[in-house]
Amino acid sequence: MAITFGQIAGLIAAIAFAVLVVFMCRVLAHLVQTVKEMNKTVDLLTQDVDKLANNVDKIMDKTNTLMEDVNSKSKKLDPLFQTAAELSESIADLNQATRKTAEKISESASSAGKAASAFKMGKTVLGFVSRHLNKD
């Protein structure tokens, strides 16, 4: 029995197909392994993201609580700052009134000094006039 070229070509094609099937099985096995590992990784990431989301929720709750506390304390401090501002205005008004009073006292002292000088001059003139009249 002699093998013909068609049979040899068929045998080569069958061997090539068998090699191709074996190669494809290995590729598919690696692909299945990769998909399994990827699924494990996705599961781990999902768990980590869930934990992270829970932690973020807790942090946000604590942040909101702290913000409410700060806002309530700030509202309690507002009257204090208002009082401090009013006290500052009162002190400024008191300083202005004190300056005016000091200026008036200074002017009065200056006027008193001028009056004393005028009185001394008047006394001197009166003494001079009196002596002059007494001579006659």
Dist CA 71 CA 83 (whole Å): 19
Q: Is the pLDDT confidence value at 132 over 70?
A: no
Question: What is the residue extent of each domain of the chain?
Answer: 26-104
Dist CA 117 CA 110 (whole Å): 10
pLDDT digits (tens, 9 = 90+) for 3-59: 899 999 999 999 999 999 999 999 999 999 999 999 999 999 999 999 999 999 999
pTM higher than the cut 0.95: no
